Amino acid sequence: MTLTTPPVAKKVPHVETHHGIEIADDYAWLRDPGYPEVKDAEVLAHLQAENAWFEARMAPQQGLIDTLFKEMRARIKEADKSVPQKDGDYLYWIEFEEGAEYKKWWRRPVAGGPDQLILDEVALADGHEYFRLGALSVSQDGTMLAWSVDDNGSERFTVRIKNLVTGEVLPDEIPGTLSGLVWVAGDKGLVYSLANEQWRTDNARLHWLGQPLASDVELYHEDDDGFRVGASLSANEEWLIIGTSDHETSEVRLVPAKAPLSPPLLVKPRQAGVEYDVDLRGDTLFIHTNDAHENFRLATAPLSTPGEWTTLIEGSDAFYLTGFELFRDFYVIEGRRAGLDQIEVRYYDDPARAEPIVFPEASYTAGLGDNPEWAVSTLRLSYESMVSPASVMDYDVAARTLTTLKVQEIPSGYDAALYATERLEITARDGTKVPVSVVYRRDRTGAGPLYLYGYGAYGIAIEPGFSTTRLSLLDRGFAYAIAHIRGGDDLGRAWYKAGKLERRTNTFTDFVDVAHGLIARGLTEAGRIAIAGGSAGGELMGAVINSDPQLWGAVAAHVPFVDVLATMLDPSLPLTPGEWPEWGNPIEDKAAFELIHSYSPYDQVRAQAYPPLLVTAGLNDPRVTYWEPAKWVAKLRELKTDQNELLLKTNMGAGHGGKSGRFESLRETAEEFAFILWQLGVAG
């Protein structure tokens, strides 16, 4: 049977009152009352009807989807392996076999000997619609492996442990984790965090190998619902570091790794708005903190008085200090200057000596790679740009030289000389200059189609990196632009703060103003711009189609956070209490309530023409619950005045990240690009 009309969700009157203001929500019924289990027959039937409509409308584009998918897959080296990295007595690497969706983890002795398969994701994923490896950790003596797996997208992982000498998988099993895995107590214990009923990690726990879970010890419990707990080892592996934080405040405790039941040492009590993280070298703490400057400073303190901090590197308006890593003979700081990644080697015995690592291009993204050992003379780095495929490099610290070990191979061919990239500055309506990274083919002429990507939240910078899938658009005449809008920390912490809480709408207006600026520069035209964003970037999509629908020719909103007000009003949801520092607390603060209501995409849907829209969701998504996009699409169907496409695809066996597997995820990108090409009338 051919479907001719989209599904129409029923309306069930539902009104809530907050601060004396009534909010109507006729589609609230789409939230299954049994969530996180979704078994309501009517809810499932509606989602399946939307999926059927998606399939029906995209069916004529299946040939184009297949073409795009084949292009994208042909750019991936199917049989591929990472550059081996030494950790202790072994070299470790990962491999993909021809046609495999998932990878295998290997090692071999540095002194010589056979390769050893330590974890086979292909075998673990067999029979599962969804598979995601969470944490993976080899014990310090190299004899044990702990790993965790999520096989439904719910972000609740089950931990297993394997003896790498005998190959035996131990009976120990820890379900419901959401954390890293840290070996302690001479590799007899494993530290992890459980996700509670609201997917919050409010604990750090110790599991003794071979002992029942009932005997596990809670090392730390966090009572603030907005904070999350995590654990790691210091760089010298002598200390267990237990941290707890929300989006703007943190607190750290230290425990001897050999004696994890020792009383924890509090570095410094939490102070609202102060973030810090620590590492140790000998009896000296190194502290990365924003207590004196919003772009962070690096301080030191004696282990005996960990709260007495002395500045080592001052905070700076010009340099945003994003992190540091300690090694035996030197340390490394990372940051951004004018939005561009910087890596510097520093020395313990000469604080004034700073050696920046120089990279060959004017615009790029670079960072420290995997450097697991304490005593090293070379650093493993990653590097790429919008025209340069990802590279793995080693940096010789003494010689100050870079050696390229591997460049991402594109089997179907790639000629960087065909493409150009530039970094523009576009002036927003309040006079702020917003950076924009753009890439296009050099033979592109005129105001053609353009794909504009944005995120703008949580202080997450969108790096100007390389993408093989993007080539399918560039080779069809598109320019591709990343709007580095406020709300990310692309230009430092002030850039982030200028797009959160009471200044949240700067994120949306920046994105719209970037689009106008790209039009003014002759790169595109109104109605020929495809836009895309996911999660908080999906919120961005919802806001800008409400405010400026005429600009966009096609919109892809992936797992979009669009029901912002209702979610922030519900502290029972997984992330809500921890999100209040980002968005505001509309339960307690009427001004926050009114502001969020004024831009919340779902609440601001109105009777007007909307651009063509592709929306995705994950039934098991604990971050943006499936009903947010489902409600949004239902309300758009009710109120929009146009006949443009509106499609909702819900992954019924996946979560926030969509399909797992390197090729299955490519097919979803092919669907998005096919939708965009179809709606913009660009030949496939």
| 586 contacts 593 by C-beta, under 8 angstroms | yes
Say yes or no to pLDDT of 546 above 90. yes
Q: How much is the pLDDT for 1?
A: 58
- Strand 182-184 relative to strand 169-177, pairing: unpaired
- Taking the C-alpha atoms of residue 371 and residue 369, their distance in angstroms, rounded to an integer, is 6
Report the distance separating Cα 439 and Cα 453, nearest Å: 12
Instruction: Work out the pLDDT band at 683, boundaries 50, 70, 90.
Output: confident
C-alpha 472/C-alpha 71 separation (Å) is 7
pLDDT digits (tens, 9 = 90+) for 255-291: 999 999 999 999 999 999 999 999 999 999 999 999 9
What order of strands is seen across the sheet that includes strand 169-177? 132-138, 144-150, 157-163, 169-177
Q: What is the pLDDT of residues 446-491, one digit of tens each?
A: 999 999 999 999 999 999 999 999 999 999 999 999 999 999 999 9
pLDDT at 58: 97
Per-residue pLDDT, averaged over 122-128, amounts to 95
Share above pLDDT 90 across residues of the chain, in percent, rounded to a whole number = 92
Instruction: Please confirm whether the linkage preceding 36 is cis (ω < 30° from 0).
Output: yes
Mind listing the pLDDT tens digit for each residue in 223-260? 999 999 999 999 999 999 999 999 899 999 999 999 99
- Taking the C-alpha atoms of residue 9 and residue 636, their distance in angstroms, rounded to an integer, is 11
Catalytic residue among 32, 150, 490, 621: 621
pLDDT at position 25 over 90: yes
Residues with Cβ < 8 Å from 431, sequence gap 6 or more? none
Q: For residue 664, give every residue at least 6 positions away whose Cβ sits within 8 Å of its Cβ, in sequence order, or none.
A: 101
Q: d(Cα 236, Cα 232) in Å, to the nearest integer?
A: 11
CA 622 from chain centre, in angstroms, equals 14
Mean pLDDT computed over 658-682: 91
> What tokens does 331 get?
């340390």
Q: Are 665 and 135 in contact (CB under 8 A)?
A: no
Task: Please give the Cα distance from 350 to 57 (Å, whole number).
Answer: 65
User: Higher pLDDT residue, 661 or 586?
Assistant: 586
Per-residue pLDDT reduced to its tens digit, 382-422: 999 999 999 999 999 999 999 999 999 999 999 999 999 99
Active site residue 621: yes
In SS3 terms, 583-637 reads as: HCCCCCCHHHHHHHHHHCCCCCCCCCCCCCEEEEEECCCCCCCCHHHHHHHHHHH
Which one-letter DSSP state was computed for residue 536? H
d(Cα 25, Cα 571) in Å, to the nearest integer?
18
Residue 362 CA: distances (Å) to CA of 17, 338, 376, 491: 54, 12, 29, 16
pLDDT mean over 332-337? 97
Mean pLDDT of 205-220: 97
Look at strands 479-483 and 433-441 and give their pairing. Answer: antiparallel
- How much is the pLDDT for 620? 86
Catalytically annotated residue among 179, 193, 535, 600:
535
The yes-or-no answer on residue 283 being catalytic is no
DSSP notation for 57-107:
HHGGGHHHHHHHHHHHHHTS-SSEEPPPEEETTEEEEEEE-TT-SS-EEEE
- Give me the mean pLDDT over the 144-149 stretch: 98
Give me the residue label for tokens 């003494």: 398
**Residues contacting residue 467 through CB under 8 Å, at least 6 positions apart:** none
Note whether 23 and 14 are within 8 A (CB): no
Question: Considering only CA atoms, which of 516, 458, 522, 517 is closest in space to residue 490?
Answer: 458
Task: Give residue 623's pLDDT.
Answer: 83
User: Structural domain boundaries of the chain?
Assistant: 15-73+418-680, 78-125, 128-266
Q: Which of 270-279, 581-590, 593-602, 653-662 has the lowest mean pLDDT?
A: 653-662
pLDDT of residue 198: 83
The pLDDT of residue 659 is 62
Q: How confident is the model over 42-58, as a mean pLDDT?
A: 97
Is the pTM higher than 0.85? The answer reads yes
**pLDDT tens for residues 169-200?**
999 999 999 999 999 999 999 999 999 988 88
Quote the pLDDT of residue 656. Answer: 65
Q: Is 656 a catalytic residue?
A: yes
pLDDT one-digit tens code per residue, 289-331: 999 999 999 999 999 999 999 999 999 999 999 999 999 999 9
* Contacts of residue 360, Cβ cutoff 8 Å, sequence gap at least 6: none
Architecture of the 128-266 domain: 7 Propeller (2.130)
Distance CA 46, CA 415 (A): 46
Which pLDDT belongs to residue 428?
98
Residue 23: its H or E element: strand 21-24
Local confidence band at 655 (pLDDT 50, 70, 90 cut-offs): low
How high does pLDDT run on average in the chain?
96
Residue 264: both structure tokens together? 């924890």
Name the superfamily (CATH) of residues 15-73+418-680. Alpha/Beta hydrolase fold, catalytic domain (3.40.50.1820)
Q: How far is residue 58's CA from residue 72's CA, in Å, rounded to a whole number? A: 19
pLDDT attached to residue 152 = 86
Average pLDDT over residues 141-148: 98
